[in-house]
């Protein structure tokens, strides 16, 4: 793309008098209203804006070309391999987009009475039932808008449950030190205190460290399984038993659910509450960071605490199912003004139907195969801190040979030069040079082999021509944007430029 011509901001393309719209004629003649009707009071000028906002004035082609060109400065799953650990950047099938944008769904107002939106409610109920089957839970709410929102909702379910039993002294959540930052942040927002439990050298939760932390002040233990290192928590049955004996609940962060598809269910592991990131496991597009969807599931007995409203299935007079909205007195309250991100839910259901039970059973094993294949192929050049099979992802602690001081950041930036998105870097915090790779099940062996070859090349360059790696990237649309300057003197609008 020619940045000189096309690299402008939309405000720089604006010309007074241009426009990119025409509104429909509504045929309303204000004088033609029937006699005797009520007239509204005039709006006082003091309640109106005195000058119009300075928004762009552009014709349609200018807008289309502007954003189209901008898109070419972006990298998505459709562009190339995106092994961003913990994010499950799998292929987003096109049929899902078509189903989500279905004209007959796109125009439905969320306040339409339930008898007129039976199709929408059936979709909601069908998806929640499918997620319940996959998660091993009794019921799901699809209302939460994203993974973090699901975590918050799930923790509120747990608090509502303890409160309902008069067990209100439970103010702590135990979180492994390997957890994603969102877990402790969600706990804090839900008004809970965070207690960290240590990991053992193999990356799993230290049961002996956990035991003394469990008492009647603990509301829940929040875990992912496999954890953020891609390691399955083998002791999960024992941990669940200990936690339940202490009267606390087990929360499953569904960020890493993908490798469990077809193999094991969180409900069977002893988890009581879980959320699922539909934009990870169920292939709804990440959209540059959103919109997501974070359904929350609960084991039998916890349904009354789910947020209002729930969608329930009842028998109609003619034997056909009738879907209704239900509001429960013990519910935690409501976390959304609507039934969640409906169009995202539609994509997930489209994906589940397309895969079917046969396809869903293959997701976990193939994702795990791809991850182990990449891990075993690169461990000669990259430091593998934890031995053994991983699940859908794994973490290297940087290059094995650190003599030239080539860091994980350098490796990540060099990958951009080769047309790959970088893995997740510097997370988890357990290692100094974390490089977290998640290939997902939709990548072919050729793609993985290509990536492996480039990673080996970079390791060789790090020894032979380290400056080439350290100064990467070299052929991206921009190079080394100065983020220190951006944080020191924030320029967050065009007016501040």
Partner 1 sequence: MIRFSESHEYVRVEGEYGFIGVSDYAQKQLGNVVYVDMPEPGDELEQGEDFGAIESVKAASDLIAPVSGEVVEINEALADNPRLVNQDAMANWIVKVKLSDPGELDNLMDEAAYEAFCNKG
Partner 2 sequence: MHRYFPHTQQEIAEMLQRCGVSDLRGLYSDVPDELLLKAPYDLPSEKSEKEVRDYFGALAAKNRHVDVCFAGGGFYDHYVPAAAQSLIGRSEFLTAYTPYQPEISQGTLQYIFEYQTMMCRLTGMQVSNASMYDGATATAEAMMMAVAAGRKRRRVLVSATLNEAVRAVVDTYARYHGVTVHTVDEADGVMSVSRLGEMLDEFGDVAGVIVAQPNRYGIIEDFSGVADMIHARKALMIMNCVAADLATLRTPGEWGADIACGDAQSLGIPLSFGGPYLGYLCATQALMRKMPGRIVGATVDSGGRRSFVLTLQAREQHIRRDKATSNICSNQGLMTLYVSVYMSLLGAAGLREIAWKGHQCALYLLESITAAGGCRLKYPSRPFLNEFLLEMDCDVDSFISRSLEAGILPGIKTGHNCLLMAATEMQTREDVDRLVEIYKSMAR
Per CB under 8 A, residues contacting partner 1 are 483-484, 487-488
Q: Rounded to an integer, what distance in angstroms lies between the CA atom of residue 195 and that of residue 82?
A: 33
Instruction: State yes or no: residue 28 binds partner 2 (CB under 8 A).
Output: yes
Structure tokens at 143: 């209302």
Shortest approach of partner 2 to residue 98 CB, angstroms?
A: 7
CB-nearer residue toward partner 2: 198 or 357? 357
Could you count the other beta carbons within 10 Å of the beta carbon of residue 455?
26
Q: At what angle do helices 445-464 and 408-417 cross, to 10 degrees?
A: 120
How many residues does the structure list for the chain?
497
Are 90 and 440 within 8 A, CB to CB?
yes
- Decide: is 453 part of the binding site for partner 2 (CB under 8 A): no
Residues 134-193 that bind partner 2 (CB under 8 A): 134, 145-149, 151-152, 155-156, 159, 180-182, 184-191, 193
Residues whose CB is less than 8 angstroms from the CB of residue 17 and which lie 6 or more positions away in sequence, other chains included: 57
* Nearer to partner 2 (CB atom), residue 313 or residue 463: 313
User: Which pair of tokens denotes residue 309?
Assistant: 């409203």
DSSP 125-177: HHHHHHHHHHHT-SEEE----SHHHHHHHHHHHHHHHHHHTT-TT--EEEEET
CB of 7 to partner 2, least distance (A): 8
For residues 104 and 26, what is the distance between their CA atoms, to the nearest angstrom? 23
Nearest approach in angstroms of CB 462 to partner 2 is 19
Phi, psi of 243 (to 5 degrees): -65, -45
Q: Is 295 in the site for partner 2 (CB under 8 A)?
A: no
Q: Considering only residues 210, 239, 248, 335, which one is a binding residue for partner 2 as defined by CB under 8 A?
A: 335
CB atoms under 10 Å from CB of 314, counted, come to: 9
Say whether residue 385 binds partner 2 (CB under 8 A). Answer: no
Cβ distance to partner 1 smaller for residue 26 or 484? 484
- The token duo for 340 is 């969640």
Query: Quick check: 68 binds partner 2 (CB under 8 A)?
Result: yes
Binding partner of residue 416 among partner 2, partner 1, none, CB under 5 to 8 Å per kind?
partner 2
422 binds, among partner 2, partner 1, none (CB under 5 to 8 A by kind): partner 2
Among residues 326 and 479, whose Cβ is nearest to partner 1? 479
Distance, in Å, from the CA atom of 210 to the CA atom of 3, rounded to the nearest integer, reads 55
Restricted to residues 92-121, the positions that interact with partner 2 (CB under 8 A) are: 92-93, 95, 97-99, 101-102, 104-113, 115-120
Q: Which does 278 bind (CB under 5 to 8 A by kind): partner 1, partner 2, none?
A: none
- Three-state DSSP class for 397? strand
Residue 332's binding partner out of partner 1, partner 2, none, with CB under 5 to 8 Å set by partner kind: partner 2
* Nearest approach, Cβ of residue 56 and partner 2 (Å): 5
> Among partner 1, partner 2, none, what binds residue 413 when CB lies within 5 to 8 Å by partner kind?
partner 2
336 dihedral zone (left: phi>0; alpha: psi -120 to 50; beta): beta
């Amino acid at each position: 793309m020619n940045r000189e011509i096309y690299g402008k901001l939309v405000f720089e393309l604006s010309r007074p008098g241009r426009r990119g719209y025409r509104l429909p004629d509504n045929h309303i003649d204000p004088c033609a209203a029937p006699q005797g009707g009520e007239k509204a009071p005039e709006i006082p000028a003091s309640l109106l804006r005195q000058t119009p906002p300075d928004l762009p004035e552009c014709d349609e082609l200018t807008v289309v070309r502007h954003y189209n060109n901008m898109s070419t400065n972006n990298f998505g799953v459709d562009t190339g391999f995106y092994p961003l650990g913990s994010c499950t950047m799998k292929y987003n099938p096109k049929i899902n987009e078509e189903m989500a944008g279905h004209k007959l769904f796109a125009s439905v107002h969320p306040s339409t009475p339930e008898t007129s939106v039976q199709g929408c409610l059936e979709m909601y109920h069908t998806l929640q039932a499918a997620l319940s089957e996959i998660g091993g839970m009794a019921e799901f709410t699809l209302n939460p808008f994203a993974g973090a929102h699901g975590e918050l909702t799930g923790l509120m379910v747990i608090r509502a449950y303890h409160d309902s039993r008069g067990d209100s002294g439970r103010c702590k959540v135990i979180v492994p030190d390997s957890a994603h930052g969102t877990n402790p942040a969600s706990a804090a927002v839900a008004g809970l205190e965070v207690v960290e439990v240590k990991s053992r050298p193999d990356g799993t939760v230290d049961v002996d460290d956990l035991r003394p932390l469990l008492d009647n002040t603990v509301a829940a233990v929040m875990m992912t399984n496999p954890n953020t290192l891609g390691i399955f928590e083998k002791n999960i049955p024992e941990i669940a038993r200990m936690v339940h004996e202490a009267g606390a609940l087990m929360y499953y962060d569904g960020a890493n659910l993908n490798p469990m598809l077809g193999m094991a269910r969180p409900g069977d592991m002893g988890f009581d509450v879980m959320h699922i990131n539909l934009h990870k496991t169920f292939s709804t597009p990440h959209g540059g960071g959103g919109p997501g969807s974070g359904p929350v599931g609960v084991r039998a007995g916890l349904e009354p605490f789910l947020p209002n409203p729930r969608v329930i299935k009842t028998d109609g007079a003619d034997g056909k199912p009738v879907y209704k909205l239900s509001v429960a007195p013990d519910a935690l309250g409501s976390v959304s003004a609507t039934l969640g991100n409906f169009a995202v839910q539609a994509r997930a259901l489209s994906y589940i139907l397309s895969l079917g039970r046969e396809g869903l059973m293959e997701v976990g094993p193939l994702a795990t195969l791809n991850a182990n294949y990449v891990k075993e192929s690169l461990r000669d050049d990259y430091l593998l801190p934890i031995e053994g099979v991983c699940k859908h992802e794994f973490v290297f602690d940087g290059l094995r040979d650190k003599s030239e001081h080539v860091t994980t950041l350098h490796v990540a930036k060099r990958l951009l030069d080769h047309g790959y998105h970088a893995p997740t870097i510097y997370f988890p915090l357990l290692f100094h040079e974390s490089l977290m790779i998640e290939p997902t099940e939709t990548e072919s062996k050729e793609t993985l082999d290509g990536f492996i070859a480039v990673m080996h090349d970079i390791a060789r360059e790090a020894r032979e021509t380290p400056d080439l790696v350290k100064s990467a990237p070299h052929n991206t649309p921009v190079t080394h944007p100065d983020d220190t300057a951006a944080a020191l003197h924030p320029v967050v609008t065009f007016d501040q430029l």
